[in-house]
Amino acid sequence: MTRRNATKTVWSGEKEYLVHGASQVPVVHSVAYTYDDIDQWYEVATGKQKGHIYGRNTNPTVQAFEDKVRALERAEASTSFSTGMAAISNSLLTFLKPGDRVVSIKDTYGGTNKIFTEFLPKLQIEVDLIETGNHSKMEDEIAKGCQLVYLETPTNPTVKITDIKRITEAARQMGALVFVDNTFATPINQNPLMMDVDLVIHSATKFLGGHADALGGVVCGSKLLVEQIYHYREINGASLDPMAAYLLLRGMKTLDIRIKKQEENAHQIAQFLKSHRKVETVFYPGLKDHLHHDIAKKQMSGFGSMLSFSLKGEMAAVRQFLPKLQLAHRAANLGAVETTVGPARTTSHVENTKEERQALGIPEGLVRYSTGIEDINDLMEDLEQALRFVGE
């Protein structure tokens, strides 16, 4: 029987791990697992038989979380990490070696950008970052030869969109792997593996968990690729904690309904801000005048709940506006049930200098707005009253 997303978020990945008649997956804190039969122990340890031997490698609670994400992304396999950045860095380092070349976009999350501009070059790995949305330029760079193409769509924090199918086709011609950070879209709104991508990455800390109380990361893809990433992670040790896995697993039960409510709110807020006299520009792919609206409409089933906007008066206006919001956490997070806001210089790109942010096309006065599940009228009234202080 085919299961739809709303059902998968509740049921997938759990049944195998329910014990003693419990209706919820337990938190298994055991570091090691006992075997009386030495031969069976060896079979499990070498992966020839299902089971667990040591917490750094696998854990029942963690595996239930991995299986749920795998089902939603329609993947063959998945593995998890202690954070989203661990998922990104481990996945890249599993496959890249000195002399390799990566082609990516300029608008990736600040931590990802640092990997591309600071850490990979130290390993003699060449990275070329292309203006996000310039698909022909990206195709030209891929055609010069590369081993890996890395995309983030929608991007953080400017919510730009890349045509996944188009770029993946270009990468296929060169035999390059394609990774996509799907954090903003979530499996509810976008499934890159269905567009021939090799690997999908999530910062599970964000929308998957949805409650800002657990760190985690996860990757999904073919069994062949995921097994290699798992091996790198099990040796390097960035394992997901069982309690964090439990919180993420619990949060994911409401993923479908949360995303739909947050997206509904975001669309109305984007329209409201777009018509406000104190707002310079609004970035939201659900708006028809968004630069990449047509691409987003083609490859996404929904436009998500992330938006950003710039105020007239830039950073001075941001300093007046943000403290006056009553229904938003001013914090470096996103994807939670509560609305969260902040400028890129203290959130997504705090690791970057002002000059680096400018080079990436991120205005200092840009406000990132992660829409929560609050009543839409309350959110818009809160924005309206806070905007009154801009320019005073």
Q: Which residues are catalytic?
A: 56, 109, 181, 206
Q: HSE (CB half, 13 Å, CA atoms) of 280?
A: 15
Return the ∠ at Cα 212 (arms to 206 and 218), rounded to 5°: 40
d(CA 264, CA 276): 19
Spell out the residues 6+ positions from residue 123 whose beta carbon is closer than 8 angstroms to its own: 96, 97, 98
d(CA 310, CA 365): 6
Is residue 168 within 8 A of residue 193, CB to CB? The reply is no
Q: What is the DSSP letter of 94?
A: H
Tokens describing residue 216:
């985690």
Phi/psi class of residue 157: alpha, beta or left (left: φ > 0; alpha: ψ in -120 to 50)? alpha
At 219 the three-state DSSP class reads: strand
Start-to-end CA span in the chain (Å): 60
Amino acid at 252: M
Q: Which residue bears the tokens 């005048």?
A: 289
Cis peptide before 187 (omega within 30 of 0): no
Tokens describing residue 146:
């590369």
Q: What is the number of residues in the chain?
A: 392
d(CA 335, CA 75): 23
